[in-house]
Structure 1
Amino acid sequence: MKNWQKLVIAILIPQVSGVLGALVTVSSVGSWYQTINKPSFNPPSWIFGPVWTSLYIMIGISLYLIWKSNHPFKKKAMWLFGIQMVLNTLWSPAFFGLESPLLGLIVIIPLWVSILACIKVFKPISNLAAYLFIPYFLWVSFATLLNASIWYLN
């Protein structure tokens, strides 16, 4: 497979995950999510789409950098990427689909850990791949705090 094809696929994988999450989220954002208690630092709803789209592009590029490498940790790194992507995809159905901040928290904590593991495993393969995961890690850290706060307040 050519590198440009790998790049396109690598960027599409997180975007597809995001679309799947959005399909579940849309029905709850206008109803259930509006009625629950949220912390004062809850961002406006319009910010989530652009932030997630940008983050998904960044982690897609990160996946591409790992995929095109010949490093001995490549397989482990690809598996870790897949694990965190599955957890990322499961969070929206858990939190929004099932309207369960507790279940969302149960999913987002291992997601947070798996993102941190990706950064650690990616670094010896590609510094840039690891660095591209840092904004994602920071946003999911914030999302974890937000999720925990919503669970606590409700």
Structure 2
Amino acid sequence: MPSTPSTSTAGAAPSRSRSWPVLLLMLVLCYAVAGVGAAASGDAGGTYAALDRPAWAPPGWLFGPVWTVLYGTIAVAGWLVARRPGRGRRPALVAWGVQLALNALWTPLFFAAEQYGVAFLDITLLLAAVVTTALLAARVDRRAALLLVPYLLWVGYAAALNLSLWLNN
């Protein structure tokens, strides 16, 4: 009986020595998005503090640590998919790239341009892209999909916050 792509290890992954550069590339891409966001955000802390926020809004200091962890899990999820051969890998990696691009757009839209409505559109598309990425990744490696769950939950929460901030400001 053939094993599923998410559980098979025999011949399913390239040699470990060749897969580490891919992990490094994924980490660089994810943390580059973080760097672009940080550079584009200007005085994000001051801007966030000045907004009329709902009572359930997190403190500004929480975003940095949360995103640091999430970008790491996004990179590892992409790496787990990239190192598996098969037809499902390409669509999952395309979706992974799309979600990362949408992620990169949000901070400049929200903080630099102060376009809260456009940022909400972007984060709504990002939420859909993360769901798509997780579903496609699950077909290739279930661990990758599981690593995307905290990201999905955080983006859903951030989308609700974005909507609230847009409506209140």
Partner of 2:26: 10
How many residue pairs are counted as aligned between the two chains? Answer: 153
Partner of 1:40: 55
1:109 partnered with 2:124: yes
Please tell me the root mean square deviation across aligned C-alpha atoms, in Å: 1.2
1:76 partnered with 2:61: no
Instruction: Using the TM superposition, give the Cα deviation of residue 27 of structure 1 relative to its aligned residue in structure 2, in angstroms.
Output: 2.5
After alignment, is 143-152 or 32-41 more displaced? Answer: 32-41
Structure 1, gaps ≥5 residues long: none
Partner of 2:67: 52
Larger Rg: 2
Instruction: Using the TM superposition, give the Cα deviation of residue 36 of structure 1 relative to its aligned residue in structure 2, in angstroms.
Output: 2.1
Code of the aligned partner of 1:27: D
Q: Which structure carries more helix by proportion?
A: 1
The TM-score normalised by the length of structure 1 is 0.95
1:139 partnered with 2:160: no
Percent identity (aligned): 31
Partner of 1:20: 36
Code of the aligned partner of 1:5: P
Q: Secondary structure at the match of 1:9?
A: helix
